Structure 1
Amino acid sequence: PDTAQLLIERGAKLDLQNNNGRTELMFACRYDQPDTAQLLIERGAELDLQDNNGRTALMFACQHDQPAIAQWLIERGANLDLQNNEGWTALMFACQHDQPNTIHSLIGRGAKLNLQNNEGWTALMLACRYDLPDMAQLLIERGAKLDLQDNEGRTALMFACEMDQPNTVQLLIERGANLDLQTNDGWTALMFACEMDQPNTVQLLIERGVNLDLQTNDGWTALMFAC
Protein backbone atom coordinates (compact mmCIF):
# COMPACT_ATOMS: atom_id res chain seq x y z
CA PRO A 1 0.00 0.00 0.00
CA ASP A 2 2.92 2.43 0.58
CA THR A 3 4.01 2.10 -3.04
CA ALA A 4 0.44 2.51 -4.24
CA GLN A 5 0.04 5.58 -2.07
CA LEU A 6 3.21 7.11 -3.50
CA LEU A 7 2.00 6.57 -7.06
CA ILE A 8 -1.43 7.98 -6.26
CA GLU A 9 0.06 11.04 -4.59
CA ARG A 10 2.20 11.59 -7.68
CA GLY A 11 -0.93 11.70 -9.80
CA ALA A 12 -1.30 8.16 -11.14
CA LYS A 13 -4.71 7.69 -12.73
CA LEU A 14 -6.91 5.45 -10.60
CA ASP A 15 -9.34 4.11 -13.15
CA LEU A 16 -7.28 2.96 -16.10
CA GLN A 17 -8.27 -0.50 -17.30
CA ASN A 18 -6.04 -3.24 -18.69
CA ASN A 19 -6.87 -5.33 -21.73
CA ASN A 20 -9.22 -7.43 -19.60
CA GLY A 21 -10.98 -4.31 -18.40
CA ARG A 22 -9.67 -4.59 -14.85
CA THR A 23 -8.74 -1.63 -12.68
CA GLU A 24 -6.38 -1.34 -9.73
CA LEU A 25 -9.38 -1.41 -7.41
CA MET A 26 -10.51 -4.70 -8.91
CA PHE A 27 -7.01 -6.13 -8.40
CA ALA A 28 -7.01 -4.96 -4.79
CA CYS A 29 -10.33 -6.74 -4.26
CA ARG A 30 -9.17 -9.85 -6.08
CA TYR A 31 -5.81 -10.22 -4.35
CA ASP A 32 -6.60 -9.37 -0.73
CA GLN A 33 -5.20 -5.85 -0.51
CA PRO A 34 -7.64 -4.08 1.83
CA ASP A 35 -5.31 -1.15 2.57
CA THR A 36 -4.84 -0.42 -1.12
CA ALA A 37 -8.55 -0.83 -1.75
CA GLN A 38 -9.44 1.57 1.04
CA LEU A 39 -6.93 4.12 -0.23
CA LEU A 40 -8.31 3.92 -3.76
CA ILE A 41 -11.88 4.25 -2.53
CA GLU A 42 -11.00 7.24 -0.34
CA ARG A 43 -9.18 8.92 -3.24
CA GLY A 44 -12.23 8.64 -5.46
CA ALA A 45 -11.68 5.58 -7.61
CA GLU A 46 -14.69 4.78 -9.78
CA LEU A 47 -16.59 2.02 -7.97
CA ASP A 48 -18.83 0.70 -10.73
CA LEU A 49 -16.53 0.12 -13.67
CA GLN A 50 -16.96 -3.33 -15.19
CA ASP A 51 -14.31 -5.56 -16.71
CA ASN A 52 -14.71 -7.41 -19.99
CA ASN A 53 -16.76 -10.06 -18.19
CA GLY A 54 -18.99 -7.45 -16.60
CA ARG A 55 -17.56 -7.86 -13.10
CA THR A 56 -17.27 -4.92 -10.73
CA ALA A 57 -14.95 -4.35 -7.79
CA LEU A 58 -17.82 -5.28 -5.46
CA MET A 59 -18.32 -8.57 -7.29
CA PHE A 60 -14.61 -9.36 -6.92
CA ALA A 61 -14.79 -8.59 -3.20
CA CYS A 62 -17.80 -10.88 -2.79
CA GLN A 63 -16.31 -13.62 -4.93
CA HIS A 64 -12.96 -13.64 -3.13
CA ASP A 65 -14.08 -13.36 0.48
CA GLN A 66 -13.17 -9.74 1.18
CA PRO A 67 -15.97 -8.63 3.53
CA ALA A 68 -14.18 -5.50 4.75
CA ILE A 69 -13.61 -4.21 1.22
CA ALA A 70 -17.16 -5.14 0.25
CA GLN A 71 -18.46 -3.17 3.23
CA TRP A 72 -16.48 -0.06 2.24
CA LEU A 73 -17.76 -0.30 -1.32
CA ILE A 74 -21.34 -0.68 -0.14
CA GLU A 75 -21.05 2.24 2.26
CA ARG A 76 -19.53 4.44 -0.46
CA GLY A 77 -22.50 3.83 -2.72
CA ALA A 78 -21.38 1.13 -5.13
CA ASN A 79 -24.18 -0.05 -7.40
CA LEU A 80 -25.41 -3.23 -5.75
CA ASP A 81 -27.45 -4.58 -8.63
CA LEU A 82 -25.15 -4.51 -11.62
CA GLN A 83 -24.95 -7.86 -13.39
CA ASN A 84 -21.96 -9.39 -15.13
CA ASN A 85 -22.10 -10.95 -18.57
CA GLU A 86 -23.57 -14.12 -17.05
CA GLY A 87 -26.17 -12.19 -15.09
CA TRP A 88 -24.54 -12.62 -11.68
CA THR A 89 -24.86 -9.88 -9.06
CA ALA A 90 -22.75 -9.15 -5.99
CA LEU A 91 -25.48 -10.73 -3.85
CA MET A 92 -25.34 -13.93 -5.88
CA PHE A 93 -21.56 -14.15 -5.46
CA ALA A 94 -21.90 -13.50 -1.73
CA CYS A 95 -24.43 -16.34 -1.47
CA GLN A 96 -22.30 -18.69 -3.52
CA HIS A 97 -19.27 -18.03 -1.32
CA ASP A 98 -21.12 -18.01 2.02
CA GLN A 99 -20.43 -14.46 3.17
CA PRO A 100 -23.17 -13.74 5.72
CA ASN A 101 -21.93 -10.32 6.82
CA THR A 102 -21.74 -9.08 3.25
CA ILE A 103 -25.17 -10.54 2.49
CA HIS A 104 -26.63 -8.71 5.49
CA SER A 105 -25.03 -5.46 4.32
CA LEU A 106 -26.22 -5.87 0.74
CA ILE A 107 -29.78 -6.62 1.78
CA GLY A 108 -29.76 -3.85 4.36
CA ARG A 109 -28.74 -1.36 1.67
CA GLY A 110 -31.53 -2.49 -0.61
CA ALA A 111 -29.96 -4.97 -3.01
CA LYS A 112 -32.60 -6.51 -5.26
CA LEU A 113 -33.34 -10.03 -4.08
CA ASN A 114 -35.09 -11.45 -7.12
CA LEU A 115 -32.77 -10.71 -10.02
CA GLN A 116 -32.02 -13.79 -12.10
CA ASN A 117 -28.79 -14.67 -13.85
CA ASN A 118 -28.54 -16.05 -17.36
CA GLU A 119 -29.44 -19.52 -16.07
CA GLY A 120 -32.44 -18.13 -14.25
CA TRP A 121 -30.95 -18.58 -10.77
CA THR A 122 -31.79 -16.16 -7.96
CA ALA A 123 -29.84 -15.52 -4.78
CA LEU A 124 -32.32 -17.74 -2.93
CA MET A 125 -31.80 -20.59 -5.36
CA LEU A 126 -28.05 -20.28 -4.89
CA ALA A 127 -28.40 -20.35 -1.10
CA CYS A 128 -30.41 -23.56 -1.47
CA ARG A 129 -28.10 -25.01 -4.10
CA TYR A 130 -25.00 -24.45 -1.96
CA ASP A 131 -26.62 -25.66 1.27
CA LEU A 132 -26.70 -22.34 3.15
CA PRO A 133 -29.89 -22.58 5.22
CA ASP A 134 -29.18 -19.46 7.29
CA MET A 135 -28.75 -17.38 4.16
CA ALA A 136 -31.87 -18.89 2.63
CA GLN A 137 -33.82 -18.02 5.76
CA LEU A 138 -32.57 -14.43 5.70
CA LEU A 139 -33.55 -14.01 2.05
CA ILE A 140 -36.97 -15.52 2.65
CA GLU A 141 -37.60 -13.32 5.67
CA ARG A 142 -36.62 -10.26 3.63
CA GLY A 143 -39.14 -11.09 0.94
CA ALA A 144 -37.39 -13.14 -1.71
CA LYS A 145 -39.88 -14.64 -4.15
CA LEU A 146 -40.27 -18.33 -3.49
CA ASP A 147 -41.64 -19.67 -6.75
CA LEU A 148 -39.44 -18.14 -9.41
CA GLN A 149 -38.17 -20.79 -11.81
CA ASP A 150 -34.82 -21.03 -13.56
CA ASN A 151 -34.38 -21.78 -17.25
CA GLU A 152 -34.97 -25.47 -16.56
CA GLY A 153 -38.04 -24.77 -14.46
CA ARG A 154 -36.41 -25.48 -11.08
CA THR A 155 -37.47 -23.57 -7.97
CA ALA A 156 -35.73 -22.82 -4.69
CA LEU A 157 -37.81 -25.59 -3.11
CA MET A 158 -36.53 -28.10 -5.65
CA PHE A 159 -32.93 -27.11 -4.94
CA ALA A 160 -33.57 -27.42 -1.19
CA CYS A 161 -35.07 -30.89 -1.68
CA GLU A 162 -32.19 -32.00 -3.87
CA MET A 163 -29.61 -30.76 -1.34
CA ASP A 164 -31.35 -32.32 1.69
CA GLN A 165 -32.20 -29.13 3.56
CA PRO A 166 -35.29 -30.07 5.58
CA ASN A 167 -35.22 -26.87 7.63
CA THR A 168 -35.15 -24.74 4.50
CA VAL A 169 -37.83 -26.91 2.91
CA GLN A 170 -40.02 -26.41 5.96
CA LEU A 171 -39.47 -22.65 5.92
CA LEU A 172 -40.29 -22.42 2.21
CA ILE A 173 -43.46 -24.43 2.74
CA GLU A 174 -44.52 -22.36 5.74
CA ARG A 175 -44.05 -19.20 3.71
CA GLY A 176 -46.31 -20.55 0.99
CA ALA A 177 -44.04 -22.08 -1.63
CA ASN A 178 -45.93 -23.97 -4.33
CA LEU A 179 -45.26 -27.68 -3.75
CA ASP A 180 -46.40 -28.93 -7.12
CA LEU A 181 -44.61 -26.75 -9.65
CA GLN A 182 -42.87 -28.79 -12.32
CA THR A 183 -39.65 -28.32 -14.25
CA ASN A 184 -39.56 -28.22 -18.03
CA ASP A 185 -39.16 -32.01 -17.87
CA GLY A 186 -42.04 -32.41 -15.45
CA TRP A 187 -40.05 -32.97 -12.25
CA THR A 188 -41.49 -31.83 -8.92
CA ALA A 189 -39.86 -31.08 -5.57
CA LEU A 190 -41.12 -34.44 -4.32
CA MET A 191 -39.43 -36.24 -7.19
CA PHE A 192 -36.11 -34.57 -6.40
CA ALA A 193 -36.45 -35.62 -2.76
CA CYS A 194 -37.27 -39.21 -3.76
CA GLU A 195 -34.49 -39.40 -6.33
CA MET A 196 -31.97 -38.20 -3.73
CA ASP A 197 -33.39 -40.54 -1.04
CA GLN A 198 -34.44 -37.82 1.41
CA PRO A 199 -37.08 -39.53 3.58
CA ASN A 200 -37.41 -36.66 6.06
CA THR A 201 -38.07 -34.18 3.28
CA VAL A 202 -40.48 -36.58 1.58
CA GLN A 203 -42.38 -36.98 4.85
CA LEU A 204 -42.58 -33.22 5.27
CA LEU A 205 -43.91 -32.71 1.76
CA ILE A 206 -46.49 -35.48 2.19
CA GLU A 207 -47.70 -33.96 5.46
CA ARG A 208 -48.20 -30.65 3.66
CA GLY A 209 -50.37 -32.19 0.97
CA VAL A 210 -48.05 -32.52 -2.00
CA ASN A 211 -49.53 -34.19 -5.08
CA LEU A 212 -48.13 -37.73 -5.10
CA ASP A 213 -49.15 -38.68 -8.60
CA LEU A 214 -47.80 -35.99 -10.90
CA GLN A 215 -45.76 -37.40 -13.76
CA THR A 216 -42.67 -36.25 -15.63
CA ASN A 217 -42.71 -35.81 -19.38
CA ASP A 218 -41.50 -39.42 -19.54
CA GLY A 219 -44.33 -40.63 -17.33
CA TRP A 220 -42.32 -41.13 -14.13
CA THR A 221 -43.94 -40.60 -10.74
CA ALA A 222 -42.40 -39.90 -7.34
CA LEU A 223 -43.03 -43.52 -6.37
CA MET A 224 -41.06 -44.74 -9.37
CA PHE A 225 -38.11 -42.57 -8.33
CA ALA A 226 -38.34 -43.95 -4.79
CA CYS A 227 -38.19 -47.58 -5.91
Structure 2
Amino acid sequence: MGSDTRLRLAAVYKAYGRRTVLRGADLAVSAGTLVGVVGENGSGKSTLLRIAVGQLVPDRGTVRRFSALGYCPQQAVVDDTLTVAQHLRLFQVAYRLPRLDHAWETVDLLGFGAERRTRAGELSGGTRQKLNLTLALMHDPPLLVLDEPYQGFDWDTHQRFWQLAGRLRDRGRSVVVVSHLLHDLEHFDSVHHLRDGRLYQDGVRR
Protein backbone atom coordinates (compact mmCIF):
# COMPACT_ATOMS: atom_id res chain seq x y z
CA MET A 1 0.00 0.00 0.00
CA GLY A 2 1.40 3.37 -1.02
CA SER A 3 2.22 5.99 1.58
CA ASP A 4 -0.26 8.35 -0.11
CA THR A 5 -3.28 6.10 0.59
CA ARG A 6 -5.97 7.95 2.53
CA LEU A 7 -8.69 5.29 2.70
CA ARG A 8 -8.67 1.53 2.29
CA LEU A 9 -11.61 -0.90 2.40
CA ALA A 10 -10.78 -4.58 1.98
CA ALA A 11 -13.24 -7.47 1.57
CA VAL A 12 -16.07 -5.59 3.28
CA TYR A 13 -19.34 -7.44 3.86
CA LYS A 14 -22.58 -6.03 5.25
CA ALA A 15 -26.03 -7.56 5.58
CA TYR A 16 -29.35 -6.33 6.94
CA GLY A 17 -31.09 -9.45 8.19
CA ARG A 18 -31.19 -11.88 5.28
CA ARG A 19 -30.35 -9.22 2.70
CA THR A 20 -26.64 -9.00 1.95
CA VAL A 21 -25.75 -5.55 0.63
CA LEU A 22 -21.95 -5.72 0.39
CA ARG A 23 -20.16 -8.92 -0.64
CA GLY A 24 -16.43 -8.32 -0.37
CA ALA A 25 -16.19 -4.69 -1.51
CA ASP A 26 -12.67 -3.29 -1.99
CA LEU A 27 -11.72 0.37 -2.40
CA ALA A 28 -8.43 2.25 -2.15
CA VAL A 29 -8.33 6.06 -2.35
CA SER A 30 -5.05 7.90 -2.83
CA ALA A 31 -4.12 11.50 -2.18
CA GLY A 32 -5.03 13.96 -4.90
CA THR A 33 -7.75 11.87 -6.53
CA LEU A 34 -11.42 12.43 -7.31
CA VAL A 35 -13.15 9.06 -7.05
CA GLY A 36 -16.71 8.26 -8.09
CA VAL A 37 -18.90 5.51 -6.66
CA VAL A 38 -21.95 4.77 -8.81
CA GLY A 39 -24.68 2.17 -8.78
CA GLU A 40 -28.39 1.60 -8.97
CA ASN A 41 -30.72 2.73 -6.19
CA GLY A 42 -30.58 0.21 -3.37
CA SER A 43 -27.20 -1.16 -4.45
CA GLY A 44 -25.59 -0.21 -1.12
CA LYS A 45 -23.72 3.00 -1.99
CA SER A 46 -24.74 4.87 1.17
CA THR A 47 -24.03 1.78 3.29
CA LEU A 48 -20.55 1.62 1.78
CA LEU A 49 -19.87 5.26 2.60
CA ARG A 50 -21.22 4.99 6.14
CA ILE A 51 -18.87 2.07 6.71
CA ALA A 52 -16.00 4.04 5.15
CA VAL A 53 -16.44 6.92 7.61
CA GLY A 54 -17.07 4.73 10.66
CA GLN A 55 -20.82 5.23 11.13
CA LEU A 56 -21.48 1.55 10.45
CA VAL A 57 -19.41 -1.49 11.39
CA PRO A 58 -18.92 -4.08 8.62
CA ASP A 59 -19.87 -7.68 9.31
CA ARG A 60 -16.51 -8.74 7.85
CA GLY A 61 -13.54 -7.02 6.28
CA THR A 62 -11.31 -4.13 7.25
CA VAL A 63 -11.56 -0.35 6.97
CA ARG A 64 -8.53 1.88 7.45
CA ARG A 65 -8.51 5.67 7.36
CA PHE A 66 -5.12 7.37 7.26
CA SER A 67 -6.19 10.99 7.77
CA ALA A 68 -8.86 13.24 9.18
CA LEU A 69 -12.02 13.23 7.10
CA GLY A 70 -15.08 15.24 6.24
CA TYR A 71 -18.38 13.48 5.60
CA CYS A 72 -21.42 14.89 3.85
CA PRO A 73 -24.39 12.51 4.21
CA GLN A 74 -27.21 12.43 1.69
CA GLN A 75 -29.67 13.93 4.18
CA ALA A 76 -28.71 17.29 5.68
CA VAL A 77 -27.86 17.04 9.38
CA VAL A 78 -28.57 20.58 10.58
CA ASP A 79 -30.45 22.19 13.46
CA ASP A 80 -33.56 23.97 12.19
CA THR A 81 -33.40 26.51 15.05
CA LEU A 82 -29.87 27.75 14.26
CA THR A 83 -28.90 30.22 11.56
CA VAL A 84 -26.25 29.52 8.94
CA ALA A 85 -23.76 31.69 10.85
CA GLN A 86 -24.55 29.92 14.14
CA HIS A 87 -23.92 26.54 12.49
CA LEU A 88 -20.50 27.72 11.34
CA ARG A 89 -19.61 29.04 14.80
CA LEU A 90 -20.76 25.79 16.43
CA PHE A 91 -18.63 23.70 14.08
CA GLN A 92 -15.74 26.13 14.49
CA VAL A 93 -15.63 25.13 18.15
CA ALA A 94 -16.02 21.43 17.32
CA TYR A 95 -13.19 21.53 14.78
CA ARG A 96 -11.09 23.90 16.92
CA LEU A 97 -10.64 26.34 14.06
CA PRO A 98 -9.03 29.72 14.80
CA ARG A 99 -10.91 31.46 11.98
CA LEU A 100 -13.87 30.95 9.66
CA ASP A 101 -12.36 32.43 6.51
CA HIS A 102 -12.33 29.11 4.65
CA ALA A 103 -15.92 28.35 5.68
CA TRP A 104 -17.21 31.72 4.45
CA GLU A 105 -15.29 31.33 1.20
CA THR A 106 -17.14 28.04 0.65
CA VAL A 107 -20.47 29.70 1.49
CA ASP A 108 -19.78 32.40 -1.08
CA LEU A 109 -18.61 29.91 -3.71
CA LEU A 110 -21.82 27.90 -3.29
CA GLY A 111 -23.82 31.11 -3.52
CA PHE A 112 -25.75 31.36 -0.26
CA GLY A 113 -23.93 34.16 1.56
CA ALA A 114 -27.16 36.19 1.69
CA GLU A 115 -28.68 33.52 3.96
CA ARG A 116 -26.12 33.78 6.78
CA ARG A 117 -28.72 35.08 9.27
CA THR A 118 -31.48 32.68 8.13
CA ARG A 119 -32.48 29.77 10.34
CA ALA A 120 -31.89 26.37 8.78
CA GLY A 121 -35.57 25.50 9.11
CA GLU A 122 -36.42 28.38 6.77
CA LEU A 123 -33.91 27.43 4.05
CA SER A 124 -34.88 25.70 0.83
CA GLY A 125 -33.89 22.07 0.44
CA GLY A 126 -31.05 22.97 -1.91
CA THR A 127 -29.67 25.63 0.44
CA ARG A 128 -29.86 23.25 3.40
CA GLN A 129 -27.71 20.89 1.38
CA LYS A 130 -25.25 23.71 0.62
CA LEU A 131 -24.94 24.24 4.38
CA ASN A 132 -24.56 20.49 4.90
CA LEU A 133 -21.69 20.42 2.40
CA THR A 134 -20.03 23.50 3.86
CA LEU A 135 -19.98 21.93 7.33
CA ALA A 136 -18.20 18.87 5.89
CA LEU A 137 -15.59 20.98 4.09
CA MET A 138 -14.93 23.83 6.49
CA HIS A 139 -12.04 22.22 8.40
CA ASP A 140 -10.27 21.42 5.08
CA PRO A 141 -9.73 17.70 5.77
CA PRO A 142 -7.35 15.60 3.63
CA LEU A 143 -10.15 13.06 2.92
CA LEU A 144 -13.71 13.93 1.89
CA VAL A 145 -16.55 11.42 1.57
CA LEU A 146 -19.63 12.95 -0.04
CA ASP A 147 -22.92 11.09 -0.56
CA GLU A 148 -24.73 12.80 -3.48
CA PRO A 149 -23.73 16.16 -1.98
CA TYR A 150 -25.55 18.30 -4.55
CA GLN A 151 -29.13 17.13 -3.89
CA GLY A 152 -31.44 20.02 -4.73
CA PHE A 153 -28.74 22.20 -6.31
CA ASP A 154 -29.64 24.22 -9.39
CA TRP A 155 -27.46 23.71 -12.47
CA ASP A 156 -25.19 26.70 -11.74
CA THR A 157 -24.46 25.52 -8.20
CA HIS A 158 -24.01 21.95 -9.47
CA GLN A 159 -21.25 23.24 -11.78
CA ARG A 160 -19.72 25.25 -8.94
CA PHE A 161 -19.58 22.09 -6.86
CA TRP A 162 -17.49 20.33 -9.49
CA GLN A 163 -15.17 23.33 -9.75
CA LEU A 164 -14.71 23.14 -5.99
CA ALA A 165 -14.13 19.37 -6.07
CA GLY A 166 -11.51 19.79 -8.78
CA ARG A 167 -9.70 22.47 -6.78
CA LEU A 168 -9.65 20.24 -3.71
CA ARG A 169 -8.21 17.36 -5.75
CA ASP A 170 -5.57 19.62 -7.27
CA ARG A 171 -4.55 20.69 -3.74
CA GLY A 172 -3.89 17.05 -2.84
CA ARG A 173 -7.19 16.28 -1.14
CA SER A 174 -8.87 12.91 -1.68
CA VAL A 175 -12.53 13.25 -2.66
CA VAL A 176 -14.98 10.34 -2.85
CA VAL A 177 -18.38 11.17 -4.33
CA VAL A 178 -21.44 8.99 -4.71
CA SER A 179 -23.33 9.96 -7.84
CA HIS A 180 -26.22 8.63 -9.92
CA LEU A 181 -25.87 11.16 -12.75
CA LEU A 182 -24.21 9.90 -15.93
CA HIS A 183 -22.98 13.37 -16.94
CA ASP A 184 -20.98 13.56 -13.70
CA LEU A 185 -18.70 10.69 -14.69
CA GLU A 186 -16.40 12.90 -16.78
CA HIS A 187 -15.28 14.71 -13.62
CA PHE A 188 -13.80 11.65 -11.90
CA ASP A 189 -10.27 10.31 -12.09
CA SER A 190 -11.70 6.84 -11.58
CA VAL A 191 -15.21 5.41 -11.36
CA HIS A 192 -16.19 2.41 -9.25
CA HIS A 193 -19.48 0.66 -10.05
CA LEU A 194 -21.18 -1.07 -7.12
CA ARG A 195 -22.88 -4.18 -8.47
CA ASP A 196 -23.96 -7.29 -6.58
CA GLY A 197 -22.19 -6.01 -3.48
CA ARG A 198 -18.78 -5.49 -5.08
CA LEU A 199 -16.94 -2.55 -6.61
CA TYR A 200 -15.72 -2.73 -10.21
CA GLN A 201 -13.35 -0.02 -11.40
CA ASP A 202 -14.23 1.56 -14.74
CA GLY A 203 -10.79 2.99 -15.35
CA VAL A 204 -8.42 5.79 -14.50
CA ARG A 205 -9.16 9.00 -16.38
CA ARG A 206 -6.07 11.09 -15.70
TM-score scaled by length of structure 1: 0.28
Q: Quick check: which one's helix share is greater?
A: 1
Report 1 or 2 for greater relative contact order, CA contacts < 8 Å, sequence distance ≥ 6: 2
Q: Whose radius of gyration is greater, 1 or 2?
A: 1
* Greater share of residues in strand: 2
TM score, norm. by length of structure 2: 0.30
